[in-house]
Amino acid sequence: MFLTKISVNNPVFATMIMVALMVFGVYSYLRLPIEQLPDIDLPVVAVVVSLSRRLA
């Protein structure tokens, strides 16, 4: 296991690689054009109940 061997022998290096990947992912997400991230309408359900008789 290549990744586990690096993580055990060099924990700071493995942590820096993971942080760099996370920063790159956040940067890429923020740079997405609007066409790749469209506006969506969330579904809404409305229930209306009316009683025709008065209760005593």
pLDDT (tens digit per residue) in 1-45: 687 888 899 999 989 999 999 999 999 988 877 776 667 888 999
Whether residue 17 is contained in a domain is answered as yes
Whether residue 37 is contained in a domain is answered as no
Is the pLDDT assigned to residue 50 strictly greater than 90? no
Q: How many CA atoms lie within 13 A of 31 on its CB side?
A: 6
Whether residue 11 is contained in a domain is answered as yes
Which range marks the domain in which residue 22 is found? Answer: 2-28
pLDDT of residue 40: 82
Alpha-carbon dihedral angle through residues 24, 37, 31, 12, given to the nearest 10 degrees: -10
Quote the number of domains for the chain: 1
Confidence (pTM) = 0.53
Whether residue 15 is contained in a domain is answered as yes
Count of CB atoms within 10 A of residue 38's CB? 6
